[in-house]
Structure 1
Amino acid sequence: MSDDAHTPTSTRVFDGFPDVLTRQNWPITVPMMPHPHVLKDGTTVQEQSAEGWAQTLEVMTDAGYTCIDPTDTWIRIADLSPERLDEFSATVRQAGLQIPAFSTSRRSVMDHEKAEENLAYSHRAIDACAAIGIPVVNFGFMRGFTPAQAKALWFWLEPGYSDDFSADVRQVAVGKIQELAAHAQSVGVQIALEMYEDTYLGTADGMVQFVQDVGYDNVGLNPDFGNILRLHREVEPWEEIAAKTFPYTNYWHLKNYYRDEEPSTGSIRTHPAPLEFGTINYRKAISMAIEAGFRGAFCVEHYGGDSISVGATNREYIRRVLPRATTHRPFSSGAGTN
């Protein structure tokens, strides 16, 4: 756990969820994945000036966003000095943006080669979120790409690494998330655990059992079943995933895919799609989530093409299908609560 957690001199990056959520004020965030971490001159976003950060953020405000998920494929807030973290916080607020959640990417605490490094990084991520007022940090067990995935047009067309599901190794994973949960709880941060194939969070039952085994009220689920729908294999129906996981959901990545299955040949094809056009009926899914008690932030994801603009289309679609009536908080998310 880092000793650098502090109260920033700059403005916090999230004002908090409204007591009454409406179509207009419900936080809908977008990942900063379309923006590279390494810049054209070979330096990284970590080293970039606040003016450089502001120019990137302008792209998002021009697309109509009011919230972002910084995502560590763009900037590693966990590795910013306290002074630079404050500078980042101020730059985000000056751009007119808020950060309801921060997602880590492919930093599994069970990675065979980087487990301890990733665990230490995860603790720093919690401290960074607490320091500038980000209420939720999103973790997963997905690892870096295999060589084949790195070469593929769509990385999910190639198999990735799989977790070890033996009871003793899985218990180690539970223990590491409990360690992070205790730290996060002590600084007022929630943890969301992201669905991803061939990990401890790869099925609905697996997710629910895992969050129950962790047993901390500040730990919930991110049921990103778009990660499952896109696979070229038999997959769990999204409605079943939704029904089981929504009572535990505290953050939600939404993305959609066209999925075509040919029974006579076994051929399966998938391709990214805007939320309203793909195979998953997100009008129904969002209604199910709210009925189950979800009151967290949405995150609009998309792969391929102009994902920033597709995300903006997805954002407006979500606002259209949210209930006309107001939706009340507070909402306590975590194992066994909704």
Structure 2
Amino acid sequence: MTASAPAWTRETWPIAAAMIQYPNVLADGRSVQEQSVEEWAATLDDVVDAGFTELDPTDSWLRLADLSPARRDDFMALARSLGLTVPAISTSRRSVIDAVHGDAYLAYCHRVIDTAKAIGAGAVSFGLFEPLTEAQKKALWFWTVDGAKNPDDPAVWQKAVARIRELGRHAEELGIEVSLEMYEDTYLGTADSSVRFVEEVGLPNVGINADLGNLIRLHRPVEHWQAMMAKVAPFTKYWHVKNYTRVEDPGTGAIITHPAPLESGLINYRAAIRTALDHGFNSAFLCEHYGGDGLTVSAANRDYLRRILPRR
């Protein structure tokens, strides 16, 4: 891929807040889908107070695509009134090859694409990872327990490719980019597999969400982040960024990981982003962080990104 000039400067690059620290089900049993505009505002005030001007609703919090048009317009009017834009919409644990809900999730992902167009978002992020298992829900950090795996079945692989291609063509018609999230034990669970998958989909608007944090946090051997980044950089689109410390004891084989700010974890994001930029990366970022006050850490991560992105 030939590198192109970025569309933004470090001050204007869209860097969105994720909403993964906010649950969809409230303490009173209601869903965020049912909240009033005033209740949504109370949550979005946190995002604004953290200094964000971009937001990804992240459908683990709010499924914009499942709101009525009037309610969606109410949400977007609220966001605009608070100075927030939505550059992209991320989905979570709604795999189009889920053995039970795959057809419904495929239809949902089409609605997400239409919603992105309706609200002026330029990208969507899809993944092939499934809901957390009961064992994962009980663990302190869910990634320390193995979850669902995409089957080692060529027919299911081809079904996944066909369904993502279908979504990609829909998105292409609307000028939307599709970014596929790297995640363990899925068909995008390694750099090599991710590249192979995207190449088989074969659409220029479909690329890779290079969320290497999902992989380096695993308590198992993984490819070095630099090697992974070198492979996926030519295909990187809308990008979820987070970081972890990682300690490996070669004597015992023990591996320990823990969430960390972008600037102090294992992945050198200054180098990773420059690698992506060298291959023409020109998409928005999403800041995520697990543990503690994830929104505040994400805000610090946003500020770090603004220091290392191109000046012009």
The TM-score with structure 1 as length reference comes to 0.89
Partner residue, 1:320: 307
Q: Is 1:25 matched with 2:12?
A: yes
Partner residue, 1:335: none
Q: Is 1:131 matched with 2:122?
A: no
Alignment of 1:31-50 (within 5 A): 31-50=18-37
Partner residue, 1:116: 103
**1:134, 1:242 → 2: CA distance?**
26
SS in 2 for 1:285: helix
Q: CA deviation at 1:166?
A: 2.1
Partner residue, 1:9: none
SS in 2 for 1:260: strand
Alignment of 1:324-335 (within 5 A): 324=311, 326=312
Q: CA deviation at 1:19?
A: 7.2
Matched-pair contact (CA < 8 Å) for 2:16–2:285: yes
Matched-pair contact (CA < 8 Å) for 2:6–2:280: no
Partner residue, 1:64: 51
Q: CA deviation at 1:165?
A: 2.6
Match of 2:72 among 85, 107, 127: 85
Partner residue, 1:251: 238
Query: In the alignment, residue 148 of structure 1 is paired with which amino acid?
Result: A
**1:35, 1:223 → 2: CA distance?**
23
**2:180, 2:84 → 1: CA distance?**
24
**1:204, 1:128 → 2: CA distance?**
30
Partner residue, 1:289: 276
Partner residue, 2:166: 179
Q: CA deviation at 1:42?
A: 1.9
Q: Is 1:141 matched with 2:128?
A: yes
Partner residue, 1:7: none
SS in 2 for 1:107: coil
Cα RMSD over matched residues?
1.3
Partner residue, 2:290: 303
Partner residue, 2:206: 219
SS in 1 for 2:262: coil
**1:187, 1:104 → 2: CA distance?**
18
Q: CA deviation at 1:273?
A: 0.4
Query: In the alignment, residue 88 of structure 2 is paired with which amino acid?
Result: A
**2:115, 2:284 → 1: CA distance?**
19
Percent identical residues: 55
**2:34, 2:174 → 1: CA distance?**
27
Q: CA deviation at 1:186?
A: 2.1
Matched-pair contact (CA < 8 Å) for 1:197–1:203: yes
Query: In the alignment, residue 154 of structure 2 is paired with which amino acid?
Result: A
Choose 101-110 or 128-137, whichever is displaced more: 128-137
Q: Deviations over 1:59-90 (max 9, x none)?
A: 10101001111001110111001111111111
**1:263, 1:81 → 2: CA distance?**
54
Which structure 2 residue ranges, 5 or more long, are not aligned? none
Q: CA deviation at 1:20?
A: 4.3
Query: In the alignment, residue 276 of structure 2 is paired with which amino acid?
Result: A
The TM-score with structure 2 as length reference comes to 0.96
Q: Deviations over 1:284-311 (max 9, x none)?
A: 1111111121111111111000001000
Choose 85-94 or 227-236, whichever is displaced more: 85-94
Task: Tell me which stretches of 4 or more aligned residues in structure 1 moved more than 6 Å.
Answer: none
Matched-pair contact (CA < 8 Å) for 1:109–1:118: yes
Partner residue, 1:332: none
Query: In the alignment, residue 171 of structure 1 is paired with which amino acid?
Result: Q
Match of 2:150 among 157, 163, 170: 163
Partner residue, 2:184: 197
**1:270, 1:19 → 2: CA distance?**
33
Matched-pair contact (CA < 8 Å) for 1:261–1:268: yes
Matched-pair contact (CA < 8 Å) for 1:165–1:200: no
